[in-house]
Amino acid sequence: MPPTTAPSGLPAVGLAAAAAVASSTAWYTAFGHRLAQLDEVYAGDAPPPPWVPPVEFARSAVVAAAVRTLAVRTGATAPADAARLALALWAAFPGVLLTGSVVHEKVPWQQAAIHAGDWLVKLLLVSAVATRTPRRRARRR
């Protein structure tokens, strides 16, 4: 299948960004208590300021657009392609950055592992959406 048959741009990016934000919200809801134990920055029950959700959506949209571009250019369209793309991106970027924070900034490895898990789930979701090809609807006559 030619690489130009990946999902159309904005809807795919928007859907992938929304999935990434939703998964991160769930992830940090599940692991927020542990993060608060590891670093006081995460302590407190106050909701985030109102500007945080749109910023998170924008950040996720940038990631989704980059993943979609890579999927289109590499011809990744199957679920296995999505998984390979997500794992490669996860190892190359969040994995490298988070291990660097543990080694050089003395971030607890447990804290880095929580963030790494979020990024793994996020990249798997984004890659799954970005590599899907649209189904053509049959015309009724």
> pLDDT tens string for the chain (141 positions)?
444 444 457 888 999 999 999 999 999 999 999 999 999 988 888 888 999 999 999 999 999 999 999 998 999 989 899 999 999 999 999 999 999 999 999 999 999 999 999 999 999 999 999 887 665 555 665
Give residue 2's pLDDT.
Answer: 45
Give residue 133's pLDDT.
Answer: 63
Sign of the four-CA dihedral 13, 19, 24, 25: positive
Give residue 47's pLDDT.
Answer: 86
φ, ψ for residue 49 (rounded to 5)? -60, 155
Give residue 46's pLDDT.
Answer: 84
**Structure letter (DSSP) for residue 75:** T
Give residue 10's pLDDT.
Answer: 85
Cα separations in angstroms, 86 against 38, 59, 77, 81: 27, 17, 13, 9
Give residue 131's pLDDT.
Answer: 83
**CB distance 130 to 16 below 8 Å:** yes
**CB distance 3 to 75 below 8 Å:** yes
Residue with tokens 């990744």: 76
Q: How far apart are the first and last CA of the chain?
A: 28
